[in-house]
A and B are shown apart, each in its own frame.
Chain A
Amino acid sequence: GAGVSQSPSNKVTEKGKDVELRCDPISGHTALYWYRQSLGQGLEFLIYFQGNSAPDKSGLPSDRFSAERTGGSVSTLTIQRTQQEDSAVYLCASSLAGPKSVYEQYFGPGTRLTVT
């Protein structure tokens, strides 16, 4: 079956512009996660969705970052007024719900964001 897909694969934007990044999780996965991978760094958690609700937004770095999920499927991560420090690979992951399954997170290929 299809894995997690993300679009666009690459995005170059000018400082101050808004960007939207999209994630399509694996079919049937009700849990969805966004992570950020900066050059030379590990992966940094941003936000977790269970269905359309986001019980954990603790990793969003500032109020310029927001995310939503509709229909329990597709999610969009929006970065407003982009800054150069936002340049990174943004990764989406999904998993089944449930206490044993929720940790098994499957990642998409990521969106490489470059802010010039």
Chain B
Amino acid sequence: QQQVKQSPQSLIVQKGGISIINCAYENTAFDYFPWYQQFPGKGPALLIAIRPDVSEKKEGRFTISFNKSAKQFSLHIMDSQPGDSATYFCAACGGAGSYQLTFGKGTKLSVIP
């Protein structure tokens, strides 16, 4: 069964610190790895995504690191702010004409002042 395993389940970070969320996958056919941010009562919003031909992608304070051989990828949030407090989902997609996103179970991030 296609799975994406995400950790930790919850994370508390001081304002200004670095938040790190990790994901691992099994299906080597996956070729697109997005991260979504979800605030309470809202739908998930696409935050940043990476394809396996690069090892890192940075957009502002958000960076994805990708390790193809280990089948792992992670989200780093630099200079974390209270406004970053949300649930973050990693996902993966691809292979055999499949367009369904397979999601991790989410990480609830709380950034405290």
Q: A103-B32, A104-B49 are in contact. Are A45 and B102 (CB under 8 A)?
A: yes
User: Quick one: which of A71-116 are within 8 Å of B by CB?
Assistant: 91, 93, 95, 102-110
Q: A103-B32, A103-B93 are in contact. Are A43 and B46 (CB under 8 A)?
A: no
Number of A-B contacts (CB under 8 A): 60
Chain A residues near B99: list those with CB within 8 A.
Answer: 31, 33, 48, 56, 95, 102-103
The distance in angstroms between the C-alpha atoms of A31 and B36, with both chains bound, is 19
**Residue of B at shortest CB range from A112?**
B41
Contact of B100 among A48, A106, A110 (CB under 8 A): A48
Bin chain A's interface residue count: 20 to 34
Contact of B94 among A4, A41, A103 (CB under 8 A): A103
The distance in angstroms between the C-alpha atoms of A40 and B32, with both chains bound, is 24
A1 contacts the other chain (CB 8 A):
no
Chain B residues near A35: list those with CB within 8 A.
Answer: 101
**Residue of A at shortest CB range from B32?**
A103
The distance in angstroms between the C-alpha atoms of A110 and B99, with both chains bound, is 20
The distance in angstroms between the C-alpha atoms of A42 and B42, with both chains bound, is 14
Chain A residues near B98: list those with CB within 8 A.
Answer: 56
Interface flags for A44-67 (1: CB within 8 Å of B; 0: not) read 110010000001101100000000
Interface flags for B99-113 (1: CB within 8 Å of A; 0: not) read 111111110000000
Contact surface of A with B, Cβ cutoff 8 Å: 4, 31, 33, 35, 40-45, 48, 55-56, 58-59, 91, 93, 95, 102-110
What 5 A-B pairs have minimum CB-CB distances, sorted nearest first? A107-B43, A45-B100, A42-B103, A103-B32, A42-B105
